[in-house]
Amino acid sequence: MKRLAGLLDYALLLALVALPMAWLFDPFRIESGPISLSIRWGWKPILVPLLLFAARAWNRSRGIPGGFLSRPLMKKCAASWLATWGFFIALEGALALAGVEPEAASPIVIRGQENIDSLPRPGDEKVIEDPELLWRFAPGIDWDGITINSLGFRDQEFAAGKLPGTRRVIAMGDSCTAQGKPPYSVLLHMLLQSAPPTPAPWQACNTGVYGYSSMQGLRQFQLTVRNFQPDVVTLYYGWNDHWLHKQPDHLRMAVRLHPLRANLTAGLQKKRMFGALARAVRQRAHDAEETEDNKTFRVPPELFRATLTRFIEEVRAIDAVPILITAPSRTLTPGAVRGRSVHSIEDGNRAHQDYVAIVREVAAATGAELLDLASIMDDPTYDALFSADGIHFEQPGLEFIAQRIHEKLLALGAAGALP
């Protein structure tokens, strides 16, 4: 009988330990080779401990002594464990009865399965869907007269690794960086060939992608660009960050996690408690940023600031020099309103100036190099360098940008601030 009491206690201990795992992972899946098993827990995680407690109580009523869980310390531990997870389970049940739904969160890409959902969009051969970047250029496709290279960028072919002794500038950004015949990075490359900022050979490469926000750029740097061994990284973002969308980028971009962390995170995201807490935390920002038609900035201001700061940290972590570039502009056209990127021309112009100010503030706070093109090109004499939309540039405008970056690099080289 004493042995039976001990077995009951071991079974109860196992059931208690399994309780949070069953709460997090419902259904519980095992997929390994030919084995594919899915178990739905239902009420079993609650009923099994209750039945085991009932069996122990029945044993005690018959005078059978309890097992190791009857010791005072074990009883306290078991009671604490039950109280904790009982609270979470009861709260989840109450939220379910109240009709609370889980919060929408970033999709998850399990490490080692990063090609999940990376499928071409129907009818769009120029862009490939990417779970972490949202989209990227399709290699080998002609984009406005320039072929996307094998690495997936609108630039001439370049090797992922640079030649020994070579210095490399990587131009990162949105369509203002990717545009042109050629883009300003190619023009910068030619300037660096004729007048390098240090005695070493220099080259410039373009990784700008149409429509990218700073958050996509940071993820792109983390996934690929950092492996291109840059010595200088120019960051030209801001327009797409303050365009309006139904969801901000951080809720649309997949997060790559180790399988264990991915499963734990996925389990939490399904919980109504998680949804209620996430909504409560976001409510203040939501009230301030949500627009009248339920759209918000793709990268809200404080997240834009945090993203640029993180970007600078990661560039410096590989011993490269970050250069922030403010995005110059002219007044927006009705096309931005028709495309629902802004509510009005006035709102769009105001938001852009706010984001330009954030770039300047981040440069000052981090000590990063700043090329303030927005200030330099504010004079009306530069109006002809802009395209009709007030955002992009005519080819002479791209030449002007390449020259200003080149001058910046020459100054940094003279000051001994380049690798």
- pLDDT, one tens digit per residue, over 17-64 is 777 777 677 766 666 666 667 777 776 777 787 788 888 788 777 777
* 125/123 Cα distance (integer angstroms): 6
pLDDT beyond 70 at 112: no
pLDDT, tens only, 76-86: 888 888 788 77
CB 284 within 8 A of CB 290: no
Amino acid letter, residue 113: Q
Among 151, 135, 152, which Cα is nearest to 143's?
A: 152
pLDDT, tens only, 153-212: 999 999 999 999 999 999 999 999 999 999 999 999 999 999 999 999 999 999 999 999
The tokens for 323 are 């250069």
pLDDT at res. 107: 57
Query: Mind spelling out the 3-state secondary structure of 67-120?
Result: CHHHCHHHHHHHHHHHHHHHHHHHHHHHHHHCCCCCCCCCCEEECCCCCCCCCE
The tokens for 306 are 């945090």
* 178/172 Cα distance (integer angstroms): 9
* 231/166 Cα distance (integer angstroms): 9
pLDDT, tens only, 338-382: 888 999 999 999 999 999 999 999 999 999 999 999 999 999 999
Q: DSSP state, 340?
A: T
- Specify the pTM: 0.71
CB atoms within 10 A of CB 154: 27
pLDDT, tens only, 220-243: 999 999 999 999 999 999 999 999
For 122-132, b/e burial (b = at least 16 CB within 10 A) is eeeeebbebbb
| 171 contacts: CB under 8 Å, gap ≥ 6 | 177, 183, 184, 185, 188, 204, 205, 206, 207, 208, 234, 236, 405
What is the DSSP secondary-structure string of 46-67?
Answer: HHHHHHHHHHHHHHHHTTPPP-
pLDDT at res. 32: 61
CB 349 within 8 A of CB 259: no
Query: Where does 127-266+291-414 sit in CATH, by number?
Result: 3.40.50.1110
Amino acid letter, residue 250: H
CB 243 within 8 A of CB 342: yes
What is the DSSP secondary-structure string of 239-285?
Answer: TGGGSEESS-HHHHS-EEE-HHHHHHHHHHHT-HHHHHHHHHHHHHH
Strand 142-143 and strand 146-147: pairing?
antiparallel
CB 121 within 8 A of CB 127: yes
Angle at 127 between CA 252 and CA 326, to 5 degrees: 65
CB 187 within 8 A of CB 177: no
pLDDT beyond 70 at 143: yes
Q: What share of the chain is helix, strand, coil (3-state, %, to 5)?
A: 50, 15, 35
The tokens for 353 are 């100036």
| 99 contacts: CB under 8 Å, gap ≥ 6 | none
CB atoms within 10 A of CB 252: 17
Among 223, 205, 221, which Cα is nearest to 213's?
A: 221
CB atoms within 10 A of CB 223: 15
Q: Where are the domains of the chain?
A: 2-97, 127-266+291-414
Q: Average pLDDT for residues 108-129, to the nearest whole number?
A: 54
pLDDT at res. 124: 62
CB 205 within 8 A of CB 169: yes
Most confident region among 115-119, 211-215, 259-263 by mean pLDDT: 211-215
Q: DSSP state, 393?
A: B
CB 237 within 8 A of CB 334: no
